[in-house]
Amino acid sequence: MMGYEQLWLDYTRKASCGEAEGIEYICVRISDTEQDALIQNSVKELQDAFEGLVGSRPTLRRDNGAGTGAALSGSTGRHGICLALREGMGAESYHLFSEKGDIVIEASDSRGILYGTFDLIRQMKMEEPLFTLDRTKAPLMPMRMLNHWDNMDGSIERGYSGESFFFADHQILVNDRTRDYARLAASVGINAVVINNVNVKDAATWLITDRYLDKVKELSEVFAGYGIRLYMSLNYAAPVELGELDSADPLSDQVGAWWNQKMKTVFGRVPNLGGFLIKADSEGRPGPFTYGRTHADGANMLARAVAPYGGIIIWRCFVYNCMQDWRDYKTDRARSGYDNFMGLDGSFLDNVILQIKNGPMDFQVREPVHPLFGGLTKTNQMLEVQIAQEYTGQQRHLCYLLPMFQEILQFRTYVKEGDDTVRDIVSGRTFGQHNCGMAAVVNTGNDENWTGHDMAAANWYGFGRLCFEPELSAEEIAREWIRVTYGNDDQVEEILMFLLMSSWPAYESYTSPLGIGWMVTPNNHYGPSVDGYEYSRWGTYHRADHEGIGVDRSHEGTGYALLYREPNASVYDNKDKCPDELLLFFHHIPYTWKLRSGKTVIQHIYDSHFEGVEIVDEMAEQFMKLQGKLPDRAYERMAARFREQKEHAREWRDQINAYFYRKSGILDERERKIY
């Protein structure tokens, strides 16, 4: 196994946090019987953090919960950290405050203690005052999940940061890195992890068999020690794949009985298991359609089987016709998720969650929010985003995605008066739901830095923080990540902030314009190929001709715009009201059309592509100033990525501009070089 870094939990760099130096002990005011692995892990984490950051390891004092509730320390003149359980706070919540010279972390459950612990460590790393802290934090989203697309041979689908650390050679790995992964995830509030790929049937079939259950259990226990429930992707056709049944018909009694028995075995062996993620009837995967049944039939059958054990079934809504004819202008992939699932609203059991991608296509740099958000009113919903930068530079380009995630969460669906944003829906506030939240597809791998691009770690960090405290802005999260990762140097913070906050707009500028998306090399999805998917079966077209570009999804076209509630539908349906950044997603527009920005479409394409490259050049130049200020190895890795990004952004610019110049024949007003 390769060596690896500790990222934002690196305790080797001393923090200047004078107050922390006075902390001498950790007092655990929790009875022995109440103490579990989470409490023990919290104590160890605090000790390790103090030892590394401050230089002295606090001693452990046990109070066994027999104390009066008054701090033990006040009278001694010494300082410590007290961990205490207290009734009446919400699940996973904590209160971090100072009392009589001690810092106190109070919570109703040990997960709250753990989260408070990591918050305190974060404050230390950021060199914030500790003894004036008084904050109560409750995670907004019940489910804060990572979806890994790891395969059992050790490869990772859309992996750009090494091989899997969950699997190698068809075995499950449980080792130091597993634990450190759990620490990193838990430290930002992640409480659920799917360990295997939704797309490949091997793991999704075999992980529920005797061959793997002991090791799944071992892994689930490491996770549980950090408040994380282990989930697995499941092959819907497992009873058939395993050769035990001829059918996977969800309405067959025999199939139901098979699953009931299977889940009894699996949860019996792996009591910490959270449940399953299923991609069914999508891109060639099996599902209930094979038997003429609905997604609800399929999901509910599984939900019934896992219900006795508190299990959850997460059902992906990424269902569309991937054998479309490009000549067909009526079929619209964007509609498919809505069309497939809206009619089933209300027919799913309560332990089923529909997992809905942020947009109707597939993790493009810009998409409208998925219309199922605001459509569904009687179904548990989870928002799926992609940290794995499949379409946003594959961790070779910098693309800090939190601003995008924030925009999505803040989108008003108008599903009711007030509490109608996507954030409201997936936090459960809109419909009073509990099984909901947010999931991110992630591709952390066994690279030394976990994420390929060192700064891509900000997306992992930020996703967790966002799910926990969605009121944080993307800027605040970025600033936090910089300080906990690279320390508190002002110049480092200023430059890295500039890089992070410039990166998504820059990437959008030099890639596909105005919300149309795609234009990437087929299959690997890296780099430009304007027509790469234009004549394909994937339903991802731009319909550019010599006069204009864009897909007519208005009422005159595919009608997709009308799937939204008012006033969104009218805004999107109308060329004049539709936001520029989504214009080509909703409308076929002449190159000479004046955008709301005042530019023509074609001039916008040219300008944004030249500007995007200029921003990247500025980013790279700014980054170079950090030589000597960042750890050398990290600096060198990042410098190499910025060099590639500079060159590759030019390739995007020149191909896109050449394509549209050649097609439209319209010159750049500013007479810049177009090939």
**Phi, psi at 131, each rounded to 5°:** -80, -5
**Beta-carbon-side half-sphere exposure of residue 289 (alpha carbons within 13 Å):** 14
Stretch that binds its own copies, among 208-216, 278-286, 483-491, 544-552 (CB under 8 A): 544-552
Please state the closest distance from residue 665 (CB atom) to its own copies, in A: 4
For its own copies, which is the closer residue by CB, 18 or 665? 665
In Å, what is the CA distance from 223 to each residue of 179, 260, 416, 545?
7, 25, 38, 53
Residue 352, classed as helix, strand or coil, is: strand
Please state the closest distance from residue 332 (CB atom) to its own copies, in A: 16
* 675 lies in the site for its own copies, by CB under 8 A: yes
* 544 lies in the site for its own copies, by CB under 8 A: yes
For its own copies, which is the closer residue by CB, 214 or 651? 651
On the 0-12 / 13-18 / 19+ scale of CB atoms within 10 A, 604 is buried
* 531 lies in the site for its own copies, by CB under 8 A: yes
Task: Give me 671's structure tokens.
Answer: 């007479």
Whether 564 and 572 have beta carbons less than 8 Å apart is answered as yes
Residue 634, classed as helix, strand or coil, is: helix
DSSP 449-507: TSSSSGGGHHHHHHHHHHHH-TTS-HHHHHHHHHHHHH-S-HHHHHHHHHHHHHHHHHH
For its own copies, which is the closer residue by CB, 143 or 544? 544
- 548-549 and 171-172: which strand pairing? unpaired
Please state the closest distance from residue 526 (CB atom) to its own copies, in A: 13
Measure the CA–CA gap between 402 and 220, rounded to whole angstroms. 29
For its own copies, which is the closer residue by CB, 333 or 453? 333
Stretch that binds its own copies, among 64-72, 191-199, 288-296, 539-547 (CB under 8 A): 539-547
Please state the closest distance from residue 436 (CB atom) to its own copies, in A: 42
For its own copies, which is the closer residue by CB, 23 or 549? 549
Measure the CA–CA gap between 465 and 449, rounded to whole angstroms. 20
* 654 lies in the site for its own copies, by CB under 8 A: yes
**Beta-carbon-side half-sphere exposure of residue 111 (alpha carbons within 13 Å):** 22
Which of 121, 530, 551, 630 forms a contact with its own copies (CB under 8 A)?
530
On the 0-12 / 13-18 / 19+ scale of CB atoms within 10 A, 132 is exposed
By CB under 8 A, the count of residues binding its own copies is 23
For its own copies, which is the closer residue by CB, 132 or 675? 675
* 665 lies in the site for its own copies, by CB under 8 A: yes
Please state the closest distance from residue 545 (CB atom) to its own copies, in A: 4
Measure the CA–CA gap between 257 and 263, rounded to whole angstroms. 10
For its own copies, which is the closer residue by CB, 670 or 673? 673
Task: Give me 239's structure tokens.
Answer: 């009873």
* 664 lies in the site for its own copies, by CB under 8 A: yes
Which of 181, 226, 510, 659 forms a contact with its own copies (CB under 8 A)?
659
* 622 lies in the site for its own copies, by CB under 8 A: no
Please state the closest distance from residue 655 (CB atom) to its own copies, in A: 5
* 547 lies in the site for its own copies, by CB under 8 A: yes
Please state the closest distance from residue 550 (CB atom) to its own copies, in A: 13
Whether 605 and 660 have beta carbons less than 8 Å apart is answered as yes
* 535 lies in the site for its own copies, by CB under 8 A: yes
Which of 13, 596, 625, 662 forms a contact with its own copies (CB under 8 A)?
662
Helix axes of 295-306 and 253-269: crossing angle, nearest 10 degrees: 40
Whether 425 and 437 have beta carbons less than 8 Å apart is answered as no
Please state the closest distance from residue 210 (CB atom) to its own copies, in A: 33
Quick one: which H or E segment has residue 283? none
Which of 528, 539, 550, 557 forms a contact with its own copies (CB under 8 A)?
528
Residue identified by tokens 């889940």 is: 263
For its own copies, which is the closer residue by CB, 214 or 669? 669
Residues 322-361: x where in contact with its own copies by CB under 8 A, - otherwise, as a string:
----xx----------------------------------
Q: Which residues are catalytic?
A: 283, 362, 390
Helices (H), 511-600: 568-573, 583-586
Stretch that binds its own copies, among 229-237, 256-264, 370-378, 523-531 (CB under 8 A): 523-531
Residues from 159 through 178 that contact its own copies (CB under 8 A): none
User: CA gyration radius for the chain?
Assistant: 26
Please state the closest distance from residue 653 (CB atom) to its own copies, in A: 11
Stretch that binds its own copies, among 68-76, 163-171, 208-216, 662-670 (CB under 8 A): 662-670
* 672 lies in the site for its own copies, by CB under 8 A: no
Q: CA 556 from chain center: how many Å?
A: 35
Measure the CA–CA gap between 307 and 326, rounded to whole angstroms. 43
* 646 lies in the site for its own copies, by CB under 8 A: no
Which of 47, 529, 570, 622 forms a contact with its own copies (CB under 8 A)?
529
Other Cβ atoms less than 10 A from the Cβ of 537: the count is 12
* 593 lies in the site for its own copies, by CB under 8 A: no
For its own copies, which is the closer residue by CB, 360 or 532? 532
Q: CA 476 from chain center: how many Å?
A: 17
For its own copies, which is the closer residue by CB, 25 or 659? 659
Residues that bind its own copies (CB under 8 A): 326-327, 528-532, 535, 544-547, 651, 654-655, 658-659, 661-665, 675
